[in-house]
Amino acid sequence: MDAQGRGRVEDIDPADQWVLNPETGEYELRLAPSAPQSRVPGQRGAGGTGRASRRRGAPASASAPAPEREVPPPRRRRTAPEEPPPGRRGRRRPAKKSKGKKILLWTGGTMALVVLAAGTAGYLYLQHLNDNIESLPDDGAGTGGFQKDQAINILLIGTDKRTGSGNEGYGDNGSAGHADTTILLHVSKDRSNATALSIPRDLIVDIPDCPTTQEDGSTKVIPGSTGVRFNQSLGQSGRTPSCTMRTVTELTGVRPDNFMVADFNAVKTLTSAVGGVEVCLAKDINDPDSHLNLPAGKHTIEGEDALAFVRTRHSVGFGGDLSRIEIQQQFLSSLMRKLKSNDTLTSPSKMVKLAEAGTKALTVDSTLDDIGKLKDLGLELGKLNTKNLSFVTVPVRDNPAEKVKATVVLQEEPARQVFDMIKEDVSFTEVKKKESEKEKKEKAAVAARLEGEKSDPSEVRVRVLNGGAPDGSAQRELLYLQNEAGVTKSENAGDADAEVARTTLEYAPDQADQARALAEILGLSGAAMKPGESVTNAQGLPTMTLTLGKDFKGAGVKLDAASAEAPEEARKSTADKVECAK
């Protein structure tokens, strides 16, 4: 409950009433009584007739004397802190944190992503904000919720459903809403970096069967669809955000922890809450479809103008959805910088508005339907630096099956590389990852696998399996090993039992010198070398096992797994850079 609801005067800021409890480390609401309080009838020590209705410390009424006890005089208000008397032990009150530092502690997550930032201000009036939050089941499509000590994957979905006042002119008339704007936000385990992966709405995908909770609590399996637009994973045929989660997992191999859905009002209300966001246009734009009409140059926009900006596409780039993704990424980068600024973080009024707007505009999964959980998530995200928050788009190309280009399909190899980098928690920016002592020791032990004597290639015995590389890769690699690398004791062992993302080399302890020799030939890192038990080849002789993964680049091409980089086809920007929409 806010200050006004507790009877305080209107000019008192609710944020000033939160103080740090040094015993628990948590912030607590401390409000003085709004009016003189009488003792509760029956309270111990209340005394006789008339005592319960008197103010503490006030003179006794002439009509109700209390001769048995002398009333103490009124307390004097101290004008300055006093030192404890000599010889007596006193405890000083801890120095009060400045308002700026206090707000920063409460709102550490605000610079990470707008819809998440809004939730972190919920300390102010928890129950009220909890009542604002709407939730839907994740139907088992998620991991069960993010964990503080693990990498985090949040699926952010912007729907084009016409909800809210003033939104009649946007989206499809009468539509249940599509997955119009979708971002998979990956935050690294050590919180040193994050990747916001944009998934084009017109990307052709396979939507899996989706078990979906109905309004009566029963579960209905909504049949999947093959070769349809990604945006049909939400709203169509009764599909809910949990189906979009399953579609993303099917597409990328990354299983989201949670989802958040925002409607048109989210952009309008959140940008107004922070006092507008600065954007830049390289040219004049007058788009009748999105209602954006702005001249070239820098502008601070909010409300309807902000929504028009993120929805425009015909007047930027090539005029399609991919161009709109770029302008949305530029907008979010600018918004991150605004949320990170002291102008926002140290303004209690802006944080209250963010909390109100964010909790009203969002629909979250049922494992995230509490303001405390949103606060915890926001604090995790608040550890990020904007220069290490990368915006990346799934690599795609025009659909070759269409004469009139309206949809796109994956660029398989670079797309898989992007997905694997997210799965393997690899940063898209050059950032030094934080490592614990245990991790440092593990890293040193892995690197040590490459150190030591190496066998002559002619002594290396290995069988080659295909574990996700293109068809025929095992045979082509075998020919390279035998004819060009001198590894004559090698054989093609067919397909592996399961596909793997990374190429691996398994070997027994007494084969370590052979493993080091083959790793040098192939460009394998220590992490790709897997000590294990010996196996036998077709002749019954002990041999190592080389399993070619999805990262296999071709016969004779060194894998160099230790230095994974984003492919050129993945358009990338970072949140710290100012860019103008073209």
Indicate if 130 and 169 belong to the same structural domain. Answer: yes
Q: Which residue has the higher pLDDT, 450 or 38?
A: 450
407 and 524 assigned to the same domain = no
CA distance 478 to 209: 40
Residues 420, 456, single domain; the answer is no
Least confident of 213-227, 298-312, 331-345, 549-563: 549-563
Residues 417 and 458 in one domain: no
Do 410 and 543 lie in one domain? The reply is no
CATH of the domain at 165: 3.40.630.190
**581 within domain boundaries:** no
Q: Which two tokens stand for residue 564?
A: 């994974």
* Residue 46 domain-assigned (yes or no): no
| In 107-165, beta strands by DSSP E | 134-136, 152-159
Same domain, 540 and 404: no
Domain that holds residue 169: 104-430
Q: Is the pLDDT of residue 53 over 60?
A: no
Same domain, 315 and 248: yes
Instruction: Note whether residue 534 is domain-resident.
Output: yes
25 lies in some domain: no
- CATH code assigned at 476: 3.30.70
- The answer to whether residues 322 and 459 belong to one domain is no
DSSP state of 395: -
> Does residue 217 lie within any of the structural domains?
yes
Domain count, the chain: 2
Of 444 and 330, more confident: 330
* Per-residue model confidence (pLDDT) at position 362: 80
Which range of 71-85, 126-140, 333-347, 484-498 scores highest in mean pLDDT? It is 484-498
CA distance 410 to 402: 15
Q: Alpha carbon of 230 to those of 21, 204, 313, 368, 394: distances in Å?
A: 48, 6, 18, 24, 12
Residue at 241 is within a domain = yes
**How are beta strands 542-548 and 461-466 bridged, if at all?**
parallel
Same domain, 516 and 545: yes
The Cα–Cα gap between 34 and 50 comes to 22
Confidence of residue 106 (pLDDT cuts 50, 70, 90): very low
113 pLDDT above the threshold of 50: no
Mean pLDDT of the chain: 76
pLDDT exceeds 60 at position 412: yes
Question: pLDDT tens-digit profile of 545-577?
Answer: 999 998 888 888 877 544 456 666 666 677 777
pLDDT at 84 over 70: no
**Residue 439 pLDDT level (bands cut at 50, 70, 90):** low
Together in a domain, 171 and 244: yes
Q: For residues 235 and 242, what is the distance between their CA atoms, to the nearest angstrom?
A: 11
Burial 360-371 (b: 16+ CB within 10 A, else e): bbbbbbbbbbbb
Query: Which of 177-186, 350-359, 472-481, 546-555 is predicted with the least confidence, judged by mean pLDDT?
Result: 350-359
Answer yes or no: do 241 and 298 share one domain.
yes
Instruction: Give pLDDT tens digits for 247-256.
Output: 999 999 999 9
Question: pLDDT digit string (tens) for 130-180?
Answer: 788 889 999 999 999 999 889 999 999 988 765 555 544 545 544 457 888
pTM metric for this prediction: 0.63
Of residues 337 and 215, the one with the higher pLDDT is 215
- Grade residue 290 by pLDDT with cuts at 50, 70 and 90: confident
Residue 175 located in a structural domain: yes
At 398, the pLDDT band (50, 70, 90 cuts) reads very high
- Same domain for 382 and 474: no
Q: Which of 430, 463, 495 is the last residue of a domain?
A: 430
Q: Assess if residue 285 is contained within a domain.
A: yes
Compute the distance between CA of residue 490 and CA of residue 463 in angstroms, rounded to an integer. 6
Query: Which of 165, 161, 158, 164 lies closest to 173 in space, CA to CA?
Result: 161
Q: pLDDT exceeding 90 applies to what percent of the chain?
A: 33
**pLDDT at residue 309 in the model:** 86
Predicted pLDDT of residue 433: 56
Burial per residue of 512-537, b for 16 or more beta-carbon CB atoms within 10 angstroms, e otherwise: bebbbbbbebbbbbbbbbeeeeeeeb
